[in-house]
Amino acid sequence: MKGLKLLATGRALPSQVLSNEDMSRFVETSDEWIGGRTGIRQRYFCAEGENATTLAIAAAKRAMERSGAAPEEIGCVVVATSSGEYVMPSTASTVHGALGLPEDIPTLDVGAACAGFLYAVEVARGLLLGNGKRCALVIGTEQMSSVLDMTDRTTCVLFGDGAGAAVFALDEEREYVSVQGTRSDPAIRSGCPGITRQVPMTMDGQAVFRFAAAIIPKCVQDLFAKGGKTMDDVDWVVCHQANERILDASIRRLGGKDKFYKNIDRYANTSAASIPIVLDEMNEQGLLKEGQRVVMVGFGGGLTWAGVMLCI
Amino acid sequence: MTLENLKPVIAETLPNCDAEAVTLEARLIPEVCQDSLDTVELSMALEDKFGVNVPDDLMATFGTVADLIAYMSEHGA
């Protein structure tokens, strides 16, 4: 089985931190309302000169430095984003240039909303299997503040900006199990940055909650069935950080409470960036150790979902 | 369905509600479900346990716990 070894991670956050109280100056809301319904206490928003591209480059540089991988070893750059600075050039190609990576590799952006990072991991693995290179640079980056309707209190308080990056190496001996799915449903919708004012973000909160609280357990169980594992075999479960209550509802169904890492209180929902940001935080704290089995689950607009189970 | 069948589902699903103290006359919202996300969670748990789907917009129309139990009973729970 050709799996992926996680060599290193990095993350980057914008310079502006906004508390729930800060948000209450834009829209009628409160720390109690936001915190009680989502677990969110603060989020980062890009300031002048910061965007999904600058964050992606900063996170990628950190991950590359820590990985020990030479630029020549990178076989692809795949960036998951729904709020990139431009449609063209892709964020991935700009990151590629900023890092001075070789010309003979593919770079592309993946649009699968909050499930995007795990779709990007799957795409990167496929590209490595195809081109015979060793390493992949996979990034989730978002400037959600650029696509939010800042007059809609039901959505603008939920999201934040940030980027996370990971360098993976193809490894003959590593286990790798993945699932992906889509249920065509516009329950979450937003325009790209250029047309945000014409197509503001909308979300059917109850429908999305119902979807997410059901899809996390399904995704985990599908991975276990495919890989012949149970929760007892897993060290960590890293879910997309959309809402603490979605995570808690999933934990009630799945068990394994202490294996779920949460950081939504400090970042809010950073869409495709949330999973690599969690991985980087866990790495920084020394929680991720060689040989541990990690289950990752992403879900979001589309509606899409994806799961990856691997040993790090 | 009876109140006694419902209490364990509430206890497992809504950690902020004292399931044992719930009565038939209790207001479903906000005494049992504190907000709209609680109603979604309870509805999902009822479907898992009893196989009866209660649409989210219908959950919001029930006044008391007795109304919910009556609906569940009418639909075979």
Number of alpha carbons in the 13 Å side-chain half-sphere of residue A266: 8
Strand A176-185 to A188-189 pairing: unpaired
Report the CATH number at residue A118. Answer: 3.40.47.10
A284 C-beta neighbours (distance < 10 Å), count: 12
Report the pLDDT averaged over residues A134-161.
94
The chain B residue lying nearest A248, using CA atoms, is B13
pLDDT at A139 over 70: yes
Q: Which fold has domain B3-74?
A: 1.10.1200
| 8 Å CB contact of A37 and B12 | no
Chain A partners within 8 Å of B56 (Cβ): 206-207, 210
Smallest Cβ–Cβ distance between B40 and the set A36, A206, A252 belongs to A206
pLDDT of residue A195: 57
**H/E element holding A306?**
strand A302-311
pLDDT of residue A290: 92
> Burial, A58: exposed, middle or buried (Cβ in 10 Å; 0-12, 13-18, 19+)?
buried
Smallest Cβ–Cβ distance between A252 and the set B12, B36, B43 belongs to B12
Question: pLDDT averaged over chain A?
Answer: 95
pLDDT of residue A192: 67
Interface of A to B at Cβ within 8 Å reads 36-37, 205-207, 209-210, 213-214, 245, 249, 252
Length of chain A: 312
Sheet containing strand A162-171, strands side by side: A3-12, A162-171, A135-142, A74-80, A107-110
Model pTM score: 0.94
Give B76's pLDDT tier (boundaries 50, 70, 90): confident
Q: Which residue has the higher pLDDT, B1 or A197?
A: B1
pLDDT of residue A201: 86
pLDDT of residue A236: 98
- Closest Cα partner for A309 from A233, A242, A204? A233
CA distance B16 to chain A (A): 11
Q: Are A250 and A213 in contact (CB under 8 A)?
A: yes
- Closest Cα partner for A62 from A258, A251, A266, A284? A284
Q: Classify residue B29 by its DSSP letter.
A: I
CA distance A239 to chain B (A): 19
Chain A partners within 8 Å of B36 (Cβ): 205-206
CA distance A21 to chain B (A): 21
Smallest Cβ–Cβ distance between A214 and the set B13, B36, B44 belongs to B44
Written as six digits, the tokens of A278 are 């969690």
Written as six digits, the tokens of B57 are 């917009």
Chain A partners within 8 Å of B13 (Cβ): 252
Report the pLDDT averaged over residues A287-293.
95
pLDDT at A305 over 80: yes
Q: Are A60 and A137 in contact (CB under 8 A)?
A: yes
d(CA A55, CA A140): 10
ipTM of the complex as predicted: 0.84
pLDDT at A309 over 70: yes
CA distance B76 to chain A (A): 23
Report the pLDDT averaged over residues B47-65.
93
| 8 Å CB contact of B37 and A209 | yes
Give A199's pLDDT tier (boundaries 50, 70, 90): confident
Range of the domain at A126: 1-312
| 8 Å CB contact of B56 and A245 | no
pLDDT of residue A193: 58
Chain B partners within 8 Å of A205 (Cβ): 36-37
Cross-strand partners of A171:
A3
pLDDT at A274 over 90: yes
Within 8 A by CB and 6+ apart from A130, the residues are: none
d(CA A209, CA B37): 7
Domain extents for chain B?
Answer: 3-74
pLDDT of residue A194: 58
pLDDT at A187 over 80: yes
Give A196's pLDDT tier (boundaries 50, 70, 90): low
d(CA A200, CA A202): 6
Coil, helix or strand at residue A86: coil
- Total domain count for chain A? 1
